[in-house]
Amino acid sequence: MSNIYFMLANTATATADEAAMTGQLISSVGMLIVVMVIFYFMLIRPQNKKEKEQKKMRDNIQIGDEVTTIGGIVGIVVRKNDDTQTVVIETGGDRSKIRVKLWAISENLTQHDDVEELGKKK
């Protein structure tokens, strides 16, 4: 009889231990999900937004715009080739020309009137 009582006691203890371990597992997974969500909203989403803005800026470069390259070269766009994704910029007083890839443009210093964009938003 004491063997049966001992087995029932062990079964009840094992069930309680399994329930506690399951609760800890669910808690750990929940915390991991919360950390991943915070990571997404703090790092990944802003980076994607910045990349979209950079792509839009590079797509809207026009001839005559003053641009800065990643290397710090400042010049005016004199030719744009969409097929090869390059632009030719003119730099300095001696009118040196440099051909660079569009991805190397880090900033467009020319401010355009956004009349077309305002018309599209209305």
Residue 67, both tokens? 């641009």
97 vs 41: CA distance, rounded Å: 42
What's the whole-number average pLDDT of the chain?
A: 83
pLDDT of residue 122: 46
Q: Tens of pLDDT along 83-109?
A: 999 999 999 888 899 999 999 999 999
| Cα end-to-end span (Å), the chain | 85
pLDDT of residue 20: 72
